[in-house]
Amino acid sequence: MNNRTDLNRRSAIAGFATSAMALALKGASAGANSLIDAGEPKFKLGSVTYNILQGFDLTTLLDICQKTGISPIEFRTTHKHGVEPTLNAQARRDIKKQCADAGVDIWGCGSVCEFHAADESVVKKNIETCKAFLQLVSDIGGKGVKVRPNGFPKGVPVEKTVEQIGKALQVCGKAADAVGVEVWVEVHGAGTQEPAHMKSIMEQTNHKKVGITWNSNPTDVKKGSVAESFAMLQPWIRSCHINDLNNDAKGLYPYRELFRLLRESGYDRTTLIEVGQSIPDKEKCIAFLKDYKTLWQKLARA
């Protein structure tokens, strides 16, 4: 082998080694970034107005959201914000603009529409109320309307009530589709909040515009885990209510696990604060929400 050939060979080997090292470093860097990003949730932290924000008018409520970075908002019916189906067209436009100007997204409205009653006229009335909320949410630029079952009527077979709820939700789903929004069935009510029953309701409904609001109920927890309940309902999860995050440390509700399951499922919507207490003082409410957000950030990334 002459000197020129040997020099070319050594240069080629050195160049290959340099390229290989660069690729290895790039891969290691990408792997490290992947590990860093693995715990970052795609979902946001928002809030329902029940009950923490129930006593504030819309202007004050939005100011609180701005100061805490809480967004989006689900407006629960009957609260001081006044976001109700009775609003006229101009008022709806004003609310949409006010929220947009504040940089706060509208998630939707939390209605109390329910379709489990044995009285058919009550069910029909609730369907019409739901339709009114759907139009309202469409007009103000929201995403959906929360409805709920509130238990099984006594003396009525469970299967009959499940079928009845499903048929009512099909009607609501069709109305939601017509105005470009969704219906979210809160996992709620004695008996009806059992994941297996909620699964049956969703299978009976079978409508693309109808999903569920995971409600962080004690009945989700089986042997200290929500994995079984989550797997059962995950195909329909479109919204999520969370309550006292301190329950994770107390062993009462595994929020770390829930947030991990949401991340792994690709859930990219929102988790909405729903705590039973009301804090009428604005500054105290802001302090509470900031503390809540700090704990949420810790648990949601764990």
pLDDT at 31 over 90: no
Q: For residue range 153-212, what is the model confidence (pLDDT) as tens digits?
A: 999 999 999 999 999 999 999 999 999 999 999 999 999 999 999 999 999 999 999 999
Reading the block at residue 200, the tokens are 């049956």
Residue span of the structural domain in which 99 resides:
44-300
Are residues 103 and 29 part of one domain? no
Q: Do 286 and 194 fall into the same domain?
A: yes
**Is 35's pLDDT higher than 50?**
no
128: domain CATH number is 3.20.20.150
Q: What pLDDT sits at residue 226? A: 99
Confidence of residue 30 (pLDDT cuts 50, 70, 90): very low
H-assigned helices in the chain? 3-37, 58-68, 89-102, 120-140, 158-179, 195-205, 227-233, 255-265, 282-300
Q: Are 182 and 210 in contact (CB under 8 A)?
A: yes
Q: What is the DSSP letter of 114?
A: -
> Of 6-15, 33-42, 92-101, 166-175, which range is least confident?
6-15
Among residues 186, 78, 72, the alpha carbon closest in space to that of 140 is found at 72
- Average pLDDT of the chain is 91
Please, are residues 302 and 248 in contact by the beta-carbon 8 Å criterion?
Answer: no
Neighbours of 220 (CB within 10 A): 23
Per-residue pLDDT at 147 exceeds 60: yes
pLDDT at 68 over 70: yes
Q: What's the CA gap between 213 and 148, in Å, rounded?
A: 9
Note whether 69 and 32 are same-domain residues: no
Q: Which residue has the higher pLDDT, 18 or 239?
A: 239
Task: Report the C-alpha gap between 282 and 193 in whole angstroms.
Answer: 33
| 74/178 same-domain check | yes
Residues 158 and 279 in one domain: yes
- Look at 135 and 19; give whichever has higher pLDDT: 135
**Residue 125 sits in the same domain as residue 255:** yes
- Residues in contact with 247: Cβ distance below 8 Å, sequence separation at least 6, in sequence order: 253, 255
Backbone torsions φ then ψ of 80, nearest 5 degrees: -65, -20
pLDDT > 70: percent of the chain: 87
pLDDT at 3 over 50: no
Return d(Cα 210, Cα 272) in angstroms, integer.
Answer: 18
Whether residues 249 and 235 fall in one domain? yes
Q: What is the model's pLDDT at position 150?
A: 97
| pLDDT tens string 221-278 | 999 999 999 999 999 999 999 999 999 999 999 999 999 999 999 999 999 999 989 9
Rounded to two decimals, what is the model's pTM?
0.87
The predicted pLDDT at position 40 comes to 85
Q: Which two tokens stand for residue 212?
A: 């569920």
pLDDT of residue 38: 52
pLDDT of 36 above 60: no
Domain shared by 171 and 292, yes or no: yes
Q: Is the pLDDT of residue 22 over 90?
A: no
Residue 29 has pLDDT above 80, yes or no: no
Are 120 and 206 members of one domain? Answer: yes
Structural domains in the chain (count): 2
Provide mean pLDDT across the span 76-81.
98
DSSP secondary structure letter of residue 155: T
- Whether 109 and 165 map to the same domain: the answer is yes
Domain co-membership, 229 together with 107 = yes
The answer to whether residues 149 and 94 belong to one domain is yes
Cα–Cα dist 292/10, whole Å: 62
pLDDT over 60 (residue 26): no
